[in-house]
Chain A
Amino acid sequence: MPELMQFLMSGVTVGAVYALVALGFTIIYNASDVVNFAQGEFVMLGGMMTVFGYAAGLPLPVAALVAILATAAIGVALNKLAIEPARGAPVVSLIIITIGASIFIRGVSQVVFGKQLHRFPAFSGDAPIPVLGATILPQSLWVIAGALAIFVGLWLFFTRTLTGRAVLATANNRMAAQLVGINTRYVMSLSFALSAAIGALAGVLVTPITLVSYDIGISLALKGFAAAMLGGMGNPKGALAGGLLLGLMEALTAGYISSQYKDAAAFVVILGVLFFMPQGLFGTKTTERV
Chain B
Amino acid sequence: MSLLRVEGLGIDFGGLRAVHDVGFSVGPGEIVSVIGPNGAGKTTLFNMISGLYLPGRGRVSLDGADVTGMEPHLLAARGLSRTFQNLQIFQAMSVLENVAAGHHLHEKGPVIADMLSLPSSRRRSRQTRDSAHALLERVGLARAAEHEAGSLSYGALKRLEIARALALEPRVLLLDEPAAGCNAVETEEIDRLVAEVAAGGVAVLLVEHDMRMVMRISSHIVVLDHGEKIAEGEPASIARNPRVIEAYLGAQAGEANDAVG
Contact = CB atoms under 8 A, between A and B. Distances in A.
Judged by CB atoms under 8 Å, the answer to whether A and B touch is yes
A287 B13 contact: yes
Nearest to B85: A290
A290 B13 contact: no
Interface in B58-95: 84, 86, 88
A287 B54 CA distance: 11
Main secondary structure of the interface of A (DSSP, over half): loop
B213 interface: no
Nearest to A285: B14
Nearest to B50: A290
A287 B86 CA distance: 17
A290 B51 CA distance: 12
A290 B52 CA distance: 9
Interface in B11-46: 13
Interface in A266-290: 287, 290
A290 B83 CA distance: 11
Contacts of A287: 13, 53
A108 to B, nearest CB: 35
Contacts of B88: 290
Contacts of B47: 290
Nearest to B18: A287
A111 B53 CA distance: 53
A286 to B, nearest CB: 10
Contacts of A290: 47, 52, 84, 86, 88
Interface in A235-290: 287, 290
Nearest to A286: B14
Nearest to A288: B52
Contacts of B52: 290
Contacts of B13: 287
Nearest to A284: B14
A24 to B, nearest CB: 29
A287 B52 CA distance: 11
Nearest to A287: B13
B150 to A, nearest CB: 14
Nearest to B11: A287
A287 B48 CA distance: 13
A287 B53 CA distance: 9
A289 B84 CA distance: 12
A290 B46 CA distance: 11
Nearest to B176: A290
Nearest to B86: A290
A290 B84 CA distance: 8
A115 B52 CA distance: 52
B176 to A, nearest CB: 10
B13 to A, nearest CB: 6
A181 to B, nearest CB: 27
A237 to B, nearest CB: 20
B51 to A, nearest CB: 11
B170 to A, nearest CB: 19
A89 to B, nearest CB: 14
B55 to A, nearest CB: 13
Interface string A101-132: 00000000000000000000000000000000
B41 to A, nearest CB: 14
Interface string B81-112: 00010101000000000000000000000000
A104 to B, nearest CB: 29
A50 B84 CA distance: 56
Interface string B192-234: 0000000000000000000000000000000000000000000
Interface in A69-127: none
7 contacts: A287-B13, A287-B53, A290-B47, A290-B52, A290-B84, A290-B86, A290-B88
Interface of A: 287, 290
Interface of B: 13, 47, 52-53, 84, 86, 88
Closest 7 CB pairs of A and B: A290-B52, A290-B47, A287-B13, A290-B84, A290-B88, A287-B53, A290-B86
